[in-house]
A and B are shown apart, each in its own frame.
Chain A
Amino acid sequence: MPQLGADMAAGKLTEWLKKPGERVKRGDIVAVVETDKGAIEVEIFENGTLDRVLVEPGAKVPVGTVLAMVRGDGEAPSAAPPMPRPMPAVAPSVPKPRPAVAVPERRAPAGPTGRLRVSPAAARLAAERGVDLAGLRGTGPDGAIRIADVAAAPAEVAPAAEPVAALPEPATPAEAIRRAIAAAMSRSNREIPHYYLSHAIDVSRALDWLARGNEQRPVAGRLLYGVLLVKAVALALRDYPEFNGFWRDGRFAPGAGIHVGTAIALRGGGLIAPAVHDADAMTLDALMASLRDLVARARAMRLRSSELADSTITVTSLGDQGVDAVFGVIYPPQVALVGFGTPAERPWADQGTVTTRRVIQASLAADHRASDGHRGALFLARVGQLLQEPEKL
């Protein structure tokens, strides 16, 4: 079961698209999995033959569960008959209700480490009696609170326990998506020290060039200006790789490619940011086709697992809505998000003369653990430079 988002703990297998005995090759869609973000198509990364499936449709299994066995070319078939083994459905990953016993929090740090020194026996008695340890004076070794100190303390009236109700199963897909966004964004604001930069970019030349080019294209093949933005960001990342990748286990891990997640608003509410793989190497036309395909499939809730899990950075453009700028919340474990506002005519001073130009406000929200503002500024400026020469994009 692939992890199709930072906070996904389990997924429900809804459909097998390949049968045991069928050939599969890298990139094939083999199964459909239902997550909080809707139905996701699971791709396979090996060539071979589907040997047997281990998870039946309808079963909800934790991330990491083996779904099926694939036999490589030349490997002997498995001895076991290709009979699917039903897996027990796991409990949904909702927070468990807290126990009704109120365990006093340890406040008022005492020691140099910022923690109270409490013997194990004293801690247990305090928990049983609801004694607030922070108010006690320790008489044990090095001032530690020992069991006699707790025994002598008056037991507090425990505050009425307020068990947090277990979240009910989401009623609608929109609610499920809302909940997934809530989890990811809460984690982001909790864990990621964001910094924000903003940069006004003159896009007059780029938009003119785009309009001229579109005159030569069939209507269905015309480029939207968002393609230029995505491509400029992707190319700039080649020079500023510290914005392309993940913060994991206390260090930055660069992305294996430049896979730009593009935020797509969903009709039922919420958003999703599937990846355009290797966006820096795509032509503008290919990028446009790819984006159209992604938008259509995202809105139909038919995205592929790699598109959901692989993004190395996110680009969001709220230009359609007329806002000047957007300051985003990074999608963990990514380390940067580039936002674009609406291109609009603005007074523009250039060599002592004020003219009007079409200007777009670009912003960068970046993880200060992984990068610093100096490099962030250079990165945004590079995006701006690239947009001055649209024909090279």
Chain B
Amino acid sequence: MNAGATVRTTYREAMREAIRDAMTRDPRVFLMGEDVGHYGGCFAVSMGLLKEFGPDRIRDTPLSEAAFVGAGIGAAMGGMRPIVEVMTVNFSLLALDQIVNNAATLRHMSGGQLSVPVVIRMTTGGGKQVAAQHSHSLEGWYAHIPGIKVLAPATLEDARGMLWTAIEDPDPVIIFEHTLLYNMEGDLAADAGPVAIDRAAIRRPGRDVSLITYGGSLYKTLDAATALAADGIEAEVIDLRTLRPLDEATILESVTRTRRAVIVDEGWRSVGLSAEISARIMEGAFYELDAPVARVCTVEVPLPYPKHLEDAALPQTDGIVRAARHVVGGNG
């Protein structure tokens, strides 16, 4: 394959390619979830895979998150490498017991005798007018739990590359796919493959302020950085990629250079990921700071259905620009 050759693709297709790749590499891998087979997945990620791999490996499940997530955990303990798809993070709460009390703890509870190499994929985030029960960003809850890893692929490369690395991990990994990203189109290296899942990435270098974000907010944040550049403010954009464990070194290194930080998190502000990142900056880089850490988060309401209210509740580019201008202050 030509080095440098690219293919035009979407986030959805990159994710599908990642599943296909994993199924091909390892016969222990199978996909299960609601409507992943005949319907092709609620978000059409697994479209065509049933035909390709058959009903033993692309399995439609009953509408019981507790049952099929639990089955996936059991299969992983039994030596399989299941990929479990949960429709949205809101619905995953029905399987919290399986994830938090079983998947995350069993290595510890068994004194290291049991591994749970399960990968659980789910969508997160708002912006599609599907109202409060389908739109929340609860990935911060999972990032609270020791024993699991939490990924948030935001680029085509990560959508294509994180899954296999996650499957190879001996412990449970949860992958959050932002619902607005599936249709994102772009060029992906034709030979794109597995990527590391233990480091944040600097998506745009800058020297005046660190904009720290992940997932669906990445593009709003990159747009904000472009707008700030027009004012002469050079913003650095960090894509966390992995929400647990956090790549603290990259965050602190960046903030030490820029001396200012704005955290953009589609989760709510209270007791969330943004609070955690802010605290780590305070603990690790307090004397480097030239301004208080600022946060742009979702307004603390159940996400509204009407478009103008939903837009107003979610972090948006102009709000990120305002926050960055405020912490930079003066003439930059």
Contacts and interface: CB of A to CB of B under 8 A. Distances in A.
Interface of A: 119-122, 124, 139-141, 144, 146-148
B329 A147 contact: no
B131 interface: no
B218 to A, nearest CB: 25
A120 B287 contact: yes
Contacts of A121: 259, 287-290
A146 B331 contact: no
Contacts of B330: 139-140, 146, 148
Interface centre among A119, A139, A144, A147 (most CB of B within 10 A): A119
Interface centre among B259, B288, B290, B292 (most CB of A within 10 A): B290
Interface string B304-332: 00000000000000000000001101110
B287 A144 contact: no
Contacts of B326: 141
A141 B288 CA distance: 16
B286 interface: yes
A119 B291 contact: yes
A22 to B, nearest CB: 53
Contacts of A124: 287
A141 B327 CA distance: 6
Interface centre among B259, B292, B326, B330 (most CB of A within 10 A): B330
B331 A139 contact: yes
B331 A122 contact: no
B288 A144 contact: no
B329 to A, nearest CB: 4
Nearest to A145: B290
Contact of A144 (B259, B286, B291, B331): B291
A141 B328 CA distance: 7
A111 to B, nearest CB: 14
Interface centre among A139, A140, A144, A148 (most CB of B within 10 A): A140
Nearest to B289: A120
10 contacts: A119-B259, A119-B289, A120-B286, A120-B288, A120-B289, A120-B290, A141-B326, A141-B329, A146-B291, A147-B290
Interface residues of B, number: 13
A119 B331 contact: no
The secondary-structure label for the interface of chain B is loop
Contacts of B290: 119-122, 140, 146-148
Interface in B259-295: 259, 286-292
A140 B329 contact: yes
A120 B283 CA distance: 13
Nearest to A143: B329
A279 B327 CA distance: 65
Interface centre among A120, A122, A147 (most CB of B within 10 A): A120
A140 B290 CA distance: 8
Contacts of B331: 139
Nearest to A119: B290
A144 B259 CA distance: 14
Nearest to B330: A139
Contacts of B259: 119, 121, 147
> Which 10 A-B pairs give the minimum distances between C-beta atoms?
A139-B330, A140-B329, A119-B290, A146-B290, A121-B290, A141-B329, A120-B287, A147-B290, A120-B289, A141-B291
A120 B260 CA distance: 11
A358 B289 CA distance: 72
Given A121-B259, A146-B329, A141 B289 contact: no
Contacts of A139: 329-331
A76 B269 CA distance: 57
Contacts of A119: 259, 289-291
Contacts of B327: 141
A140 B286 CA distance: 16
A119 B282 CA distance: 12
A141 B323 CA distance: 10
A272 to B, nearest CB: 48
A129 to B, nearest CB: 15
B313 to A, nearest CB: 25
A147 to B, nearest CB: 5
B286 to A, nearest CB: 5
Contacts of A140: 290-291, 329-330
Nearest to B327: A141
A78 B134 CA distance: 66
A182 B278 CA distance: 47
A144 B289 CA distance: 12
A127 to B, nearest CB: 11
A120 B290 CA distance: 6
Given A121-B288, A122-B290, 16 more contacts: A119-B259, A119-B289, A120-B286, A120-B288, A121-B259, A121-B287, A121-B289, A121-B290, A124-B287, A140-B291, A140-B329, A141-B292, A141-B326, A144-B329, A146-B330, A147-B259
